[in-house]
Amino acid sequence: MKKLRKNFSLYCLFFIIGANLPSYSQGHYPGGYFNPNDYFVPPPGIILPVYYVYNNFNYYNNNGDKSDIIESGSSNTDTELNIEQNVKTNSFVLMMLYGGKKKIGEFQWGFMVIPTVNNPSSTIALNYYSTQTGNGTVSFNNKTWGFGDLYIQPIWLSLVKKDWSFAMSYGVWLPTGKYKYNDIDNVGLGYYSHNFRVASRYKPNSNIGITGAITYETNQIQKDSDFKEAPHLTFDYGACYTWLLGHEVGLYGNYTTQLEEDKNNPNLYSKDQAWNVGAYGSYWLKPGKIGVLSRISQNFGEKNRYGGFTFTVGLNFLFLNQ
């Protein structure tokens, strides 16, 4: 029982990398993907999570106001594009996470692979709107489903001490989702994104954990264009309480900001940003084997992006080494 408690108090194991995937961000990583314990390599074995994610978002302009107008144009002309600003999205996220059995020196190691199935997200809607020219009303109404962009995290290391833990990782988003310039049927973003992350966690006792993480995302040129999304920096933070068998409740949040101007963007001038707060709970139906999870979150302080309410529910299947 002590070993079981130790494993589950160190690792909630309810990875939410797809909880907002892809959601209100410009770029692939909007923050808020993880519960507080989930930045760290899991115990040795394989974890197979399956999640359903629902987003209900509105567009917010440079003043942070809900708007039906995206300001667009170029350095010489200005255009206001009227849009249908409410975007509802649905996603199914299938994942595989692996924790290595043997350490590399003092470091635990692992990797993750995340394929997604989704309909066009609010990010894709904003990308579609921003490629339009001229005045008028454009409605984004598409029910297409397909495989989205794929996330692979081949480098993932954790160092666990008595009260403190540290983690570092590198992951890349592959543009596997269907993408065609100026197409309403897109389910991918059409470019590679590279995520570099460091995280730390403080545990004053075996039940309570306080976590912070910083993610730097840089992007490559978008397919069929010379557009390049600017880098983003995301600060994630959270706290949780874990019971004996790993049942857990917690709070989490994040702040995402654009660091530079987009390159060769003919439409959107201003940088984007958003805050996010959320809560979650997890329950082990069969400890060490199968569990359920639910999450809710809400954005605020959005500028030049979509934001709103997110609901997630899912299952985790664990195949841990004994």
pLDDT over 60 at 297, yes or no: yes
Q: Which two tokens stand for residue 189?
A: 């973003």
Q: Are strands 164-174 and 146-147 parallel, antiparallel or unpaired?
A: unpaired
pLDDT in tens, 13-59: 555 444 444 333 478 888 888 889 889 999 999 999 999 989 898 88
As assigned by CATH, the class of the 2-320 domain is: mainly beta
pLDDT in tens, 190-205: 899 999 999 999 999 9
Q: How far is CA 237 from CA 31, 109, 178, 270, in A?
A: 10, 22, 33, 26
Specify the length of the chain in residues: 322
Tell me which residue of 130, 151, 147 sits closest to 79, measured CA to CA.
130
Q: Which two tokens stand for residue 225?
A: 């264009």
Of the pLDDT bands very low, low, confident and very high (cuts 50, 70, 90), residue 189 is confident
Cβ proximity of 189 and 177 under 8 Å: yes
HSE of 268, CA atoms in CB hemisphere, 13 A:
27
Residue ranges of domains in the chain = 2-320
Of the pLDDT bands very low, low, confident and very high (cuts 50, 70, 90), residue 256 is very high
Own/partner long-range contacts of 211-215 (Cβ < 8 Å, ≥24 apart): 211/36, 211/37, 211/39, 211/236, 211/237, 211/238, 211/239, 211/240, 212/236, 212/237, 213/34, 213/39, 213/167, 213/237, 215/29, 215/31
pLDDT over 60 at 176, yes or no: yes
Q: What is the pLDDT of residue 3?
A: 47
Which residues does residue 51 pair with via DSSP β-bridges, in sequence order? 93, 314
Name the amino acid, one letter, at 165.
S
HSE of 297, CA atoms in CB hemisphere, 13 A:
34
Cβ proximity of 224 and 185 under 8 Å: no
DSSP state of 41: P
Tell me which residue of 188, 167, 168 sits closest to 178, measured CA to CA.
188
pTM, entire model: 0.86
Helices (H), 106-211: 122-130
Higher confidence at residue 234 or residue 188?
A: 234
Cβ proximity of 222 and 229 under 8 Å: yes
Higher confidence at residue 322 or residue 47?
A: 47
- Angle, CA of 96, 174 and 259, to the nearest 5°: 110
By three-state DSSP, how is residue 130 classified? helix
Residue with tokens 């350490």: 103
